[in-house]
Structure 1
Amino acid sequence: MQLTTIFRLVFKLAFFLATVIASAQEISGTWKGELKIQGMELPLAFNISETDGTYTTTMDSPMQNAFGIPTNGTTFKDNELIILQTQSGIEYTATFTDETFKGIFKQGGQEYPLDLIKGEKNVKKDKPQEPKKPYPYVSEEVTFKNATAGNIKFAGTLTLPKDVKNPPVVILITGSGAQNRDQELLGHKTFLVLSDHLTRQGIAVLRYDDRGTAKSEGDFSVATSFDFASDVEAAMTYLQTRNDVVDVNKIGLVGHSEGGLIAPIVAARNKNVAFCVLLAGPGVSGKEILLTQGKKAAELEDYPASDIAISQEISAKIYDICADYKGEASKEKIAALFQELKGKMTSEKAQRELTDTALKGQLKMITSPWMRAFLGYNPQTSLKKVTCPILAVNGEKDFQVLPALNLNAIEKGLKNNSDVTIKQFKDLNHLFQTSETGALSEYAKIEETFAPVALNYVSEWINARF
Structure 2
Amino acid sequence: MKRIIRLLTFAAFATTFFACSGTQTQSAIPEDLKGTWSGIIDGLGLSIVMHLQDSCTLDSPDQGAYGLKANASMKGDNTLRVKFLDMPGSFTGSIQGDSLVGTFSQMTLKKRLALGRGEIVRNRPQTPEPPFPYDTDEVSFEHDGIVLGGTLATPHNCNPGETSAVVLVSGSGQQNRDEELMAHRPFAVIADALARNGIASLRYDDRGCGSSGGTFEEATTFDFADDARAAVHCLRERGFGKVGVIGHSEGGTIAFMLGADEDVAPDFIVSLAGMVDRGDSTLFRQVSRQIELQGAPKKLSGFAARVALRKMLKQKSVWMDCFIALDPAPFVAEVKCPFLALNGDKDTQVIPEFNLSKIESLCPAADCRLYPGLNHLFQHCTTGLTDEYARIEETISPEVLADIAEWISGRKAQ
Q: Is the 8 A contact 1:254 1:260 kept in 2?
A: yes
**Residue 84 to residue 153, structure 1, CA distance change in 2 (3 Å):** farther
> How far, CA to CA, are the matches of 2:321 and 2:111 in structure 1?
32
> Which residue of 105, 124, 127 maps to 2:124?
127
Q: Identify unmatched segments of 5+ residues in structure 2.
A: 1-25
Candidates 231, 234, 259, aligned match of 1:235: 231
For 1:414-429, what aligned pairs fall within 5 Å after superposition?
414-415=363-364, 419-429=365-375
Number of the residue aligned with 2:17:
none
1:308 paired with 2:294, answer: no
Corresponding residue of 1:3: none
2:211 counterpart of 1:211? no
TM-score in terms of structure 1 length = 0.72
1:191 aligns with 2:137: no
Separation in 2 of the partners of 1:90 and 1:242? 48
Report what 1:364 is aligned to.
314
**How do 1:170-185 residues align onto structure 2 when only pairs under 5 Å count?**
170-185=166-181
1:164 aligns with 2:158: yes
- Structure 1 132/25 Cα, relative in aligned 2: closer, same or farther at 3 Å? same
Q: 1:144 to 1:126 in 2, by over 3 A?
A: farther
Give the corresponding residue for 1:40: 44
Deviation at 1:146, TM superposition (A): 0.9
Q: Return closer, same or farther for 1:33/1:436 CA change in 2, 3 Å cut-off.
A: closer
Residue aligning to 1:324: none
Measured in 1, the distance between the counterparts of 2:27 and 2:358 equals 65
Match of 2:196 in 1: 200
Alignment of 1:275-286 (within 5 A): 275-286=268-279
Decide whether the 8 Å contact of 1:172 with 1:253 is kept in 2: yes
Aligned equivalents of 1:96, 1:408: Cα separation in 2:
49
Kindly indicate whether the alpha-carbon contact (under 8 Å) linking 2:27 and 2:55 is maintained by their aligned counterparts in 1.
no
Q: Secondary structure of the residue that 1:31 maps to in structure 2?
A: strand
Q: 1:436, 1:113 → 2: CA distance?
A: 23
Shift of 1:142: 1.2
Q: Does 1:27 align with 2:33?
A: yes
Instruction: Tell me: CA distance 1:298–1:385, structure 2 relative to 1, closer, same or farther (3 Å).
Output: same
Q: CA deviation at 1:463?
A: 0.3
Unmatched 5+ residue regions in structure 1?
Answer: 1-19, 319-337, 339-358
**1:460 correspondence with 2:406:** yes
Structure with higher Rg: it is 1
Q: Is the 8 A contact 1:92 1:103 kept in 2?
A: no
The structure, 1 or 2, with the larger RCO (C-alpha pairs under 8 Å, 6+ apart) is 2
The verdict on how the C-alpha distance between 1:157 and 1:111 changes in structure 2, with shifts beyond 3 A counting, is farther
Q: What is the CA RMSD across the aligned residues, in angstroms?
A: 3.1
Could you say which residue in structure 2 is the equivalent of 1:259? 251
SS at match of 1:198: helix
- 3-state DSSP of counterpart to 1:382: helix
- Residue 398 of structure 1 and its aligned partner are, at CA, apart by 1.1
Contact 1:182 1:192 in 2 (8 A): yes
| Structure 1 residue 113: Cα displacement | 5.1
**Structure 2 counterpart of 1:180, one-letter code:** N
TM-score with structure 2 length normalisation? Answer: 0.81
CA contact (8 A) 1:251 1:272 kept: no
1:194/1:446 CA distance change after superposition, 3 Å: same
- Shift in CA distance, 369/420, structure 1 to aligned 2, threshold 3 Å: same
Equivalent in 134, 138, 153 of residue 135 of structure 2: 138
Q: Quote the residue 2:343 is aligned against.
A: 394
Render the CA deviation track for 1:29-66: whole Å, top value 9, x for unaligned: 33345446xx62323121334xxxx44656364x56x6
- Matched residue of 1:226: which SS? helix
Match of 1:381 in 2: 330
Deviation digits for residues 422-442 of structure 1, max 9, x if unmatched? 111121111111122222122
What letter is aligned with 1:444? A
Give the whole-Å Cα distance in 1 for the aligned partners of 2:93 and 2:380.
41
Question: For 1:299, which of 292, 299, 303 is the aligned residue?
Answer: 292
Instruction: Name the structure where helix makes up a greater proportion of residues.
Output: 1
Please give the per-residue CA displacement for 1:129-167, whole angstroms capped at 9, x wherever unaligned.
Answer: 1111010111001111112xxx11111100011133111
Separation of aligned partners in 2, 1:129 and 1:48? 33
